[in-house]
Amino acid sequence: MRRDRPSSSPCLWKGTTLQIKKIAFIGTGIMGARIAGHIMDAGYELTVYNRTREKAEELLARGATWAGSPAEAAADADVVFTMVGYPSDVEDVYLTTDGLIRAARKGAWLIDLTTSSPQLARDIHDAAEVEDKHAFDCPVTGGEQGAIDGTLTLIAGITEAAAAPVLPVLESFSSKIFYFDQPGGGQTAKLCNQVSLASCMVGYADALALAEQSGIDAERVLEVMASGTGGSGASRTLAPKSLAGDYKPGFLAEHLRKDIGLALQRSEDLDITLPGAETAFTLFDMLCQIGGSRMGTQALTLLYQEEAACVAAGLDWSLLDQGEDDEHDHECCCGHDHGEDHECCGGHGHGHGDGHECHCHDHDHEH
């Protein structure tokens, strides 16, 4: 889907006209590279930084400028977008001594698209305000396909009026924007979406297992669900991939575990229980522990399969709960404040017990 945009967007902001020309984009992974591509298509000048440069090569070949750090990327940008993985990545990019809060120019807009912690979003907003910069959380939904099509739904922690200056840029990669009016509001709403998604995924995985074990046609069951009340966005878009054995990531399993963990942490703060999210966390944590963290979330259905099918897909059940007695002293990836003796979690403190080994981020990055 293409839209024609002017090469810069004049916007009224507190009585002055803000010309947005230069955009910096940090985090050009599955989602970020696509979103940044739409921003370029809309005619903005783009500077990019990603931890692994190769993932920005396509954008560079199209004329984007490479920066050697988030600070360098942000130096003269009117708007800086971030789309990194974990809250701890967001914290690094914004709040370290050479982070965006200090490095961006006064008056710049800092917009975090990552699914991250609501409290961290509030901290970043407040820190930016002190430095005369504008920051807000703006997580997205719509998946890889939404990023490819430029039709993402944005969930913004700001009022519609306050976001007006950057609306043309946001519209270059979205088709709908919901405003939750306060810092962190976008992240909280996104976590609500994620707990619903997580239960929908467990729901369709259960349904497919029941169909297959009963010896009826699982594809036809999906059709029934789609034409009745048992279907969901997850069963429409991801269940066919599960059935086809296509576990390539659009949305990484480890990222959904992170999101559910953040939601469970929030539920603890509120002193409520979320049984559906608890179940989903247990299952996604298991999938990540046995080697599925960089698979797409649709690989959840592998947990219901015979071991041979899991092995063929690259999973290893012997990794489950390995090293439970290993003590470690690391910062949890979920990025919220755990204090000294937290239980690591991918976002919540459930069920690991003392001295567990952390499985919350099986990716390659260091603790």
Q: How far is residue 90's CA from residue 88's CA, in Å, rounded to a whole number?
A: 5
Question: How do beta strands 79-82 and 65-66 pair?
Answer: unpaired
- Give every CB contact of residue 79 below 8 A, 6+ residues apart in sequence: 20, 22, 23, 24, 108, 109, 110, 111, 166, 169
Residue 135 near residue 90 (C-beta atoms within 8 A) = no
Q: Is 106 a catalytic residue?
A: no
State the DSSP code for 320.
T
Lay out the site mask for ligand NAP across 257-296 (x = CB under 6 A, - = otherwise).
Answer: --x-------------------------------------
Cβ pair 344, 261 in contact under 8 A:
no
**Binding ligand NAP by CB under 6 A: which of 89, 91, 112, 285?**
89
**Out of 144, 212, 268, 343, the residue judged to bind ligand NAP by CB under 6 A:** 144
Contact between 143 and ligand NAP by CB under 6 A: the answer reads: yes
Out of 252, 344, 345, 360, point to the residue binding ligand NAP (CB under 6 A): 252
Which of 5, 21, 51, 102 lies at the binding interface for ligand NAP (CB under 6 A)? 51
* Binding of residue 124 to ligand NAP (CB under 6 A): no
239 makes contact with ligand NAP (CB under 6 A) = no
Per-residue x/- track, 53-72, ligand NAP (CB under 6 A): --x-----------------
Q: Note whether 168 binds ligand NAP by CB under 6 A.
A: no
Q: How far is the CB of 304 from ligand NAP (least distance, A)?
A: 22
Q: CA neighbours within 13 Å on the CB side: how many for 316?
A: 5
Pairing of strands 109-112, 79-82: parallel
Helix count (H) and strand count (E) of the chain?
16, 11
- Residues of this chain that interact with ligand NAP (CB under 6 A) are 26-32, 49-52, 55, 83-85, 89, 92-93, 114-115, 140-141, 143-144, 250-252, 255, 259
